[in-house]
Every structure is written in C-alpha cells, then in structure tokens.
C-alpha cells in the first residue's frame, strides 16, 4: 500500500523570497540566521538527507551523497500565514491574501459582536497574547468582558479566564465571531485563548481552539477522500483545513508528542493513505518570541528523531519534510517571514540525491503526492514524481 507522509516544520524557512521586501522581510532566513547567530546547528540527520544542499547554511556543509531528494519551494499565494502555506501545499493557491487588521477591527463590527454575545469586549488591538492578558486580565475578571486582539497574522483572538467565562461559552462566542467575520473581514482563523491565574500571574491553558475558514476549493485532502482514501491529521492540521477532507485526527501537546503519534501511526501499518503532521512549537513557542536558542534546540530535537521516523517507514512510503513559511527569531520582528521553505523527499523506492531546484509553488508537493497516490492531477502544481521515481 502506498502512503504519503507530510511533516511540516512550522515556520522553518530557508531564506528570503524575491518579494520579501513587500512584506518587510528583507534579510530573513530562519535556518541560516539561527545557525550564523549561534555558530552552527547540530543537524546530522537533516544534513545527511540534504538540507545544506538546498541553500547555504552557515557552519553546515552540503553532502556528496544526499539520502533524500532536495530543493526549496516558493510561495505563490499572497501572504505568509499558516493557513495559506498549508492550503498551498495541498494544492490551493490564494490570489488574495487573508485580511489583517493592524489598527484593530472596525468599531461597527465590534459593536455588533457585543450585541450578539451580550457582553462588551476589551482590547481590540494588535498585541502579544501573553502580554495583553497580564495588562487587561484584572479588568476582564472584574467586568466579565472578553479580551479581543489580533496580530500581524489574519486572526481574531478572544481571551477569557476560564473561571470568568466558562470554556463552553468562550467557544460559543468564537463560533459567533467566526460566522460574522466574512467578506472583507474574512480572517483565516478565530482563536479561543482561555487562561487561568491571578493578578500578575495569568497563564494561558492548553484549551486553545481554532475556528478556521473552510478551504473554498478542492485540496489534495478532498480529492483523496472523495476517491475512497483516508487522511490522518496530526496536530493543528484539522483546524487549518476546518476538518475538510480529513478522516481522523489527533491533537498533540508539543513537537515530540506529535512525532511520537506520527511514528505510532506509521508502525500500526494503518490504512491511512496520507498522514499530515504539523509541528507548531518552532513557530508558536520560539519564532514568535524571538527565542533563538530555543528554536535551535527544537531543530536539534527534531533532527534526533529522524532515525525513528525513517525506521518506521514501509517500503512504499513517501516522506516529505517541509515548512509553511518562515519566522526568523533573529530579526526585530516577531511576525512570520516571507521565505522559501525546504523540501526533502525520502522513500526506500525513490531515487536519492536528486536536486529538485527551486519549485515555483508549494503546490508542487501536493501534485507529486497526488500522482504517487494514483489521483487525477490537482488544479495547481507540477508533479516531480517522475524525476525521483526509481526506474
């Protein structure tokens, strides 16, 4: 049975794209700048697959006989957010970026939302989630008003203390907002951000939930399930695709838990045709917080698990390792960065060491997966399966 495994190292970019200046991301290079800043990264397994063959990475040498096929992919869609990147990997290219709100959401929308949920709201500004709950947490506890904020991403986030607004009500408020945020306000995600604690020590909980907009056209996942295939979503993949085209899903606590669950699924010799995993710690915990050493440690931890992942593969498995955008922690910005993403493709039945060059869209990955799984071509992307197919 042929299986495709896609592992997305969330935000692990490999150098600025030519249009990075349009996004204020000149000089961004998540992998390269981290390695340069720290005097090197210990990534022997990724290096062996061909990571440093893709593009120069300070202190990391290219290898003569890469064990995987390698290249990098440019994002054709407008934007640099998680949803856009993952949708393009699955074959859906956005001609218009999701809207962002650097000055907060329109007052008339906020007023309508307050009327619908029966509560006023606080904030309505661009802010760090950890910072805004410390600043407005006491007022929220006193008044019962949820905290609304956004970021450089296309998100509408609602924070509430679990003892002030119960989780069930917070989720209901988010569903209401999701239904209202349409047209010019159609953000990629509404995010519930529950927290607990007391003055000066408020902490977000693990009960976060994303309410994503649904893909508006067919993706690799839809095409596969429509043809009788099964898709397993690991991590936030279910949220990113709003459940569309997904057969089963599992949540994860962190990167290592995500890898554990991916490996378990592989070892179970399951009937899933596509296993799609997102490892969000790189982005959420380290990239957005400009934590360079933490990001490096997460990369090295991922690298140390590669032998386990490869060891769990069956003879006809095709493994893709890639990313969805950048988030360079060495720059002053804490936002995503418009970067190329690495592309590593490994399989026991595939050629090794093929240089796939610069792909013009992330959708080439989805197109290749579709051809390998015997599906009709996707609407976007150029398959490179014939280039890596063992004769």
Q: 212 - beta bridge partners?
A: 189
Measured at the CA of 248, the angle between CA 246 and CA 254, to 5 degrees, comes to 100
pLDDT in tens, 37-88: 999 999 999 999 999 999 999 999 999 999 999 999 999 999 999 999 999 9
Task: Provide the pairing of β-strand 274-279 with 3-9.
Answer: parallel
Structure tokens at 301: 């931890």
Q: For position 325, what pLDDT does the model report?
A: 98
- Average pLDDT, integer, range 231-250: 96
Q: How many CB atoms lie within 10 A of CB 274?
A: 25
Which three-class secondary structure state does DSSP give residue 143? helix
What domains, with CATH codes, occur in the chain?
A: 3-95+215-388 (3.40.720.10), 107-211 (3.30.70.1250)
Q: Which residue has the tokens 């935000």?
A: 11
What confidence score (pLDDT) does residue 307 get? 98
Position 274 pLDDT exceeds 70 = yes
Say which residue, 129 or 380, is predicted with more confidence.
Answer: 380
CB–CB of 147/177 below 8 Å? Answer: no
Taking the C-alpha atoms of residue 235 and residue 241, their distance in angstroms, rounded to an integer, is: 12
Task: Give the model's pLDDT for residue 283.
Answer: 95
- What percentage of the chain reaches a pLDDT higher than 90? 94
pLDDT at residue number 269? 66
* Per-residue confidence (pLDDT) for residue 301, from 0 to 100: 98
pLDDT tens column, 369-380:
999 999 999 999
Residue 391 has pLDDT above 80, yes or no: no
Residue of 206, 185, 209, 192 lying closest to 147 (CA atoms): 192
In this structure, what are the phi and psi dihedrals at residue 238, rounded to the nearest 5 degrees?
-60, -45
């Amino acid at each position: 049975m042929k299986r495709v495994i896609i592992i997305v190292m969330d935000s692990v970019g490999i150098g600025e794209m030519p249009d990075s200046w349009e996004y204020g991301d000149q000089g961004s290079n998540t992998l390269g700048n981290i390695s340069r800043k720290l005097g090197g990264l210990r990534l022997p397994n990724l290096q062996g697959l061909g990571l440093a063959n893709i593009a120069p990475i300070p202190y990391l040498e290219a290898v003569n006989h890469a064990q995987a096929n390698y290249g990098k992919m440019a994002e054709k869609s407008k934007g640099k957010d998680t949803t856009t990147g993952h949708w393009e990997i699955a074959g859906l290219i956005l001609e218009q970026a999701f809207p962002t709100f650097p000055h907060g959401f329109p007052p008339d929308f906020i007023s309508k939302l307050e009327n619908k949920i029966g509560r006023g709201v606080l904030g309505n500004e661009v802010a760090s989630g950890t910072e805004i709950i410390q600043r407005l947490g006491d007022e929220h506890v006193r008044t019962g008003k949820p905290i609304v904020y956004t970021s450089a991403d296309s998100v509408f986030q609602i924070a509430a203390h679990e003892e002030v607004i119960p989780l069930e009500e917070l989720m209901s408020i988010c569903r209401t907002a999701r239904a209202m945020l349409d047209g010019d306000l159609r953000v990629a995600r509404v995010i519930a951000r529950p927290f607990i604690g007391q003055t000066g020590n408020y902490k977000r909980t693990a009960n976060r939930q994303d309410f994503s907009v649904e893909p508006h056209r067919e993706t690799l996942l839809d095409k596969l399930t429509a043809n009788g295939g099964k898709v397993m979503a690991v991590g936030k993949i279910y949220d990113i695709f709003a459940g569309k085209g997904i057969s089963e899903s599992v949540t994860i606590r962190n990167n290592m838990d995500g890898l554990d669950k991916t490996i378990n699924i592989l070892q179970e010799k399951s009937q899933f045709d596509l296993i799609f995993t997102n490892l969000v710690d790189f982005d959420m915990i380290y990239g957005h917080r400009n934590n360079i050493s933490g990001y490096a440690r997460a990369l090295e931890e991922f690298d140390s698990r590669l032998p386990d992942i490869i060891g769990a593969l069956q003879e006809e498995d095709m493994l893709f390792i890639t990313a969805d955008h950048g988030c360079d922690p060495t720059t002053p910005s804490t936002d995503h960065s418009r970067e190329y993403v690495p592309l590593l493709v490994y399989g026991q039945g595939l050629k090794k060491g093929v240089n796939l060059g610069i792909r013009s869209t992330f959708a080439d990955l989805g197109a290749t997966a579709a051809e390998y799984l015997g599906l009709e071509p996707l609407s976007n992307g150029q398959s490179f399966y014939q280039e890596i197919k063992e004769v």
